[in-house]
Amino acid sequence: MNIEDFKLAYLLSCFCLALIILSPTLAMVIRLPRGEPFTEFWILGSGQMAEDYPFNVTTHEVYRVYLGVANHMSGLEYYKVFVKFRNQTEPLPDSVNGTPSPLYPVFEYRVFLRDGEVWEKEFLFSFDNVSFEGNFCRISNIIVDGYVLNVDKVAFWDEENKGFYFQIFFELWIYNATALDFQFHNRFVGFWLNMTVPI
């Protein structure tokens, strides 16, 4: 190796070292293009994992899931989460057309999140005033976080799947500052429940 090659290697090493040392400062000054803004929306089971969701449920038992929202929209956002309850024949949101379910929400959460911030909420629920008559099951009340809410939903016996099926689902809405109102963010998550006869 001659002296010129050695000088070049030394200069390249110094330049690389300078970039490494200055990288935190450069990261604050140089803004790289961001990807598409988005919002994460999820439900986790009782152990805060994507498993152990309640399914076979009965009256007066308390069940737990975790609801989460993460903001990656590049700024402060105002979210609203509607809690909705349906039987197997009632409509879900239409993700193709971006329209929410026409069902009335039974509960809601509102939260402000900065970019990169995460909100996670323990969602506790149980059922009260459940009756079984012939081939249908009527749920009069759902209790969410200690609040008794009237739902008055009926599910007919599903012979193929052997159960009375209901669904809790959550719709994500986001505040639109231009329209001065919340708009459906075309995100929803939910889980099925089979109401069983108490023993």
pLDDT at 42 over 70: yes
Which pLDDT score is estimated for 28? 62
How many domains does the chain fold into?
A: 2
Question: Is residue 71 domain-shared with residue 145, that is, in the same domain?
Answer: yes
How far apart are the two ends of the chain, measured CA to CA in Å?
87
Each residue's pLDDT tens digit, 148-178: 999 999 999 999 999 999 999 999 999 999 9
Q: What mean pLDDT is reported for the chain?
A: 90
Range of the domain at 107: 38-195
Which pLDDT score is estimated for 199? 55
Question: Is residue 11 domain-shared with residue 55, that is, in the same domain?
Answer: no
Residue 185, phi then psi, degrees to nearest 5 = -90, 10
Smallest CA-to-CA distance from 126 within 109, 139, 136, 108 is with 139
Question: Is residue 159 domain-shared with residue 179, that is, in the same domain?
Answer: yes
Residue 128 corresponds to which tokens in the numbers above? Answer: 């009260």
Question: Is residue 147 domain-shared with residue 59, that is, in the same domain?
Answer: yes
Question: Is residue 90 domain-shared with residue 136, that is, in the same domain?
Answer: yes
Which pLDDT score is estimated for 29? 62
Question: Is residue 84 domain-shared with residue 172, that is, in the same domain?
Answer: yes
Distances from the Cα of 33 to the Cα of 30, 74, 183, angstroms = 10, 11, 27
Question: Is residue 11 domain-shared with residue 107, that is, in the same domain?
Answer: no
Q: What is the CATH number of the domain that holds 76?
A: 2.60.40.10
Question: Is residue 25 domain-shared with residue 47, that is, in the same domain?
Answer: no
Can you give the pTM of this predicted structure?
Answer: 0.81
Question: Is residue 69 domain-shared with residue 93, that is, in the same domain?
Answer: yes
What sign results for the dihedral spanned by CA atoms 170, 171, 172, 173?
A: negative
Give the list of residues 6+ apart from residue 159 with CB closer than 8 angstroms, or none: none
